[in-house]
Amino acid sequence: MNTAKNHGRILIIGAGGVATVAAHKCAQVPEVFREIMIASRTLSRCDAIRDDIKGRYGRDIQTARVDADNVPELAALIGSFGPDAVLNLALPYQDLHIMDACLETGVHYIDTANYEPPDEAHFEYSWQWAYQQRFREKGIMALLGSGFDPGVTNVFTSYAGKHLFDEIHYLDILDCNAGTHGHVFATNFNPEINIREVTQAVRHWEAGNWVETPAIIEEGSVHFGFDYPVAGMKESYLLYHEELESLARNVKGLKRARFWMTFSENYLTHLKVLRNVGLTRIDEVDYEGCKIVPIRFLKALLPEPASLGTQYTGKTVIGNIMSGIKDGETITRYIYNVCDHEEAFKETGTQAIAYTTGVPAMIGSMLVLTGVWRGPGVHNIEQFDSDPFMEALGKYGLPWQVIEHAPLPDRV
């Protein structure tokens, strides 16, 4: 098992926008990340990130080609590089393969999104939680969900439970992208993953049960107008997001947890049309003697999310509104971050969606490598002390603030 005494080596799997940000942020903290390798199926993308980091910071990082679906290949790369932790920023389909490789090699594991099977538009933590005993026996840890949502939103909740409330009863996570990228239709992260996520039936946690409502593009979807700091009034849609599952499990006394995200009418209209003509299907179809998956074909047609930063303007506003009890009184507090697309591009060459995920991925990795967060087994991020993470957020580019706020209505 690796310990805090020999920290300093990180292997990043993936070479998209989030991996780009994480590699940049790791390169900015040489006292923790003494050696960095970035690896993916496409070596040229890793090399491009390496060259940019060399130009910006004068740091040399290593690159490698690896198939994240191939456990022996992953294990061989981990064995040759000898990292203290593997930061998985590949596709959610590959989580279990990378966890298997970490188990085989005895290396800590960190990710930003939970596993989902490629043949089913469904994601939950059960597959990864099932690794609990094996990680404990191996003496290594897995840190799940060290992005923004999940990730920072989980830590906002645990921080509030530690400092602002005696007990949190109602949690609403609100994710607003008030930016403009100049494209008629594009997704801010991997189109395949994004579209699978937002076309699913919606669930939220209430009174000890999961309550299901229609998907955002279906009749009867739940939405309301919310006046976001800086961004103003935006229509916000109830959406299922994975942090609800772990927070409902780990936050005692929680009576209701919901997740909201902003979508423009233009985005929803395009998504409905794509769904209606079959381009969001995830099953194989025959096309001129070949088997293709429509949503993967669509992904090839859409702009690469990592490229959106060149034209992106505006801001993201993501945070939690929480109501509960403090010293016998009912209070509500809003913790949130504002991130600027143009500033994110200046620093890392990516847009704010990638930036807000890549920064906390680095912070979680830093806390694991330095031993500030420790303990064998599989852990969601809210299970650790929130204070060092919250302090690092402001230091490394994602400042936050807490304000008083009116509680959100029970029904919208």
What order do you get walking across the sheet with 62-65 strand by strand?
62-65, 35-40, 9-13, 85-88, 108-111, 141-144, 377-380
Residue burial 165-189, b: 16+ Cβ < 10 Å; e: rest: beebbbbbbbbbbbbebeeeebbbb
Tell me how far apart the alpha carbons of residues 241 and 260 are, in angstroms, rounded to a whole number.
Answer: 9
- pTM score of the predicted model: 0.93
Tell me how far apart the alpha carbons of residues 348 and 16 are, in angstroms, rounded to a whole number.
Answer: 12
Count of alpha carbons within 13 angstroms of residue 201, beta-carbon side: 5
Q: Which of 103-107, 187-191, 333-337 has the lowest mean pLDDT?
A: 187-191
What Rg do the C-alpha atoms of the chain give, in angstroms?
A: 20
pLDDT of residue 5: 46
In the chain, residues under CATH classification 3.40.50.720 are 4-148+354-394
pLDDT of residue 380: 98
| pLDDT grade for 277, boundaries at 50, 70 and 90 | confident
pLDDT of residue 191: 73
pLDDT of residue 4: 41
**pLDDT surpasses 70 at 309:** no
User: What does the pLDDT average to over 301-327?
Assistant: 88
Contacts 24+ apart (CB under 8 A), 328-331: 331/164, 331/165, 331/404
- CATH number for the region 152-349+400-404 comes to 3.30.360.10
Name the percent of the chain lying above pLDDT 70: 97
Tens-digit pLDDT profile for residues 175-217:
999 988 777 777 766 777 778 778 888 999 999 999 999 999 8
User: What does the pLDDT average to over 88-104?
Assistant: 96
Residue 336: partners with Cβ closer than 8 Å, 6 or more residues away: 174, 229, 317, 318, 319, 320, 400, 401
Query: Cis peptide leading into 150, omega within 30 of 0?
Result: yes
pLDDT of residue 197: 79
pLDDT of residue 390: 98
In the chain, residues under CATH classification 3.30.360.10 are 152-349+400-404
Q: 4-148+354-394 falls under which CATH superfamily?
A: NAD(P)-binding Rossmann-like Domain (3.40.50.720)
